[in-house]
Amino acid sequence: MLLKDRVAIITGGAGINGLGFATARQMAAQGARVAILDLERADPADAAARLGDGHLGLVADVTDKPSCEAAAAAVLRAFGRIDALVNNAGITQAVGTLEIGGADYDRVLDVSLRGTLYMSQAVLPAMRRQQAGAIVCISSVSAQRGGGIFGGPHYSAAKAGVLGLARAMAREFGAEGIRINCVTPGLIETDITQGKLGPERKREISATIPLARLGRADDVAGACVFLASDLAAYCTGITLDVNGGMLIH
């Protein structure tokens, strides 16, 4: 198993049909003990219980630094170490540039970008003590192509910021055995797409993708497992595209 005896934290991981939970499920199947972090209304404890015994669900708000630090401390108390972090928490909003208000900007940037910073800060001390660790940051094809189907310009900006932050952290902590990488998903079928894309629109989009289908949550999860494992031992500061060829560059 690729993650046997490793401890992994996944933010925004309680949505059963989301990228975070798919990643939690695959990491648990590869031997990891998983801590799912999410807001109280998402019920992270229930999501963790769905993985089986030995996993942890914690209420945490990634936009609040003390909440992130408390969650990391709880994981250390429960499992004694932190080997991997998947910065998955994020929100989107489909509005145009002229419609973005200050509160909209703050909300989208805070969850994706501030949350990635705060949660990384919370786990890095433990990883430095171990002289080992892997952080995977979920960005988006929207950051690369300048917009997507669901996210506004502030979402693209937040996810582009995640790319820059991850690369800078990779340079800073590589000598201490800590690898930091990004995954940029394309259009992935989750609850969001089910509610907003009809069958005909899905067929139209699929026709523009070389692999001729929308992505699945497990497609992204597999990339996260790879980057968290020793198979990616010489990968840091990279951006791994998971988009079916939607963007080839």
Catalytic amino acids?
155
Dihedral sign computed on CA atoms, order 51, 55, 58, 64 = negative
Q: Which residue has 């899905």 as its token pair?
A: 202
**Number of Cβ atoms within 10 Å of the Cβ of 18:** 22
DSSP per-residue letters across 30-80: TT-EEEEEE-GGG-HHHHHHHT-TT-EEEE--TT-HHHHHHHHHHHHHHHS
Helical segments of 51-210, H only: 65-79, 102-109, 115-130, 141-145, 153-173, 191-196, 199-206
CA distance 133 to 178: 5
The residues pairing with 59 across neighbouring beta strands, listed in sequence order, are 38
b/e per residue 143-157 (b: at least 16 CB within 10 A): bbeebbbbbbbbbbb
| Rounded Cα gap, residues 247 and 249, in angstroms | 6
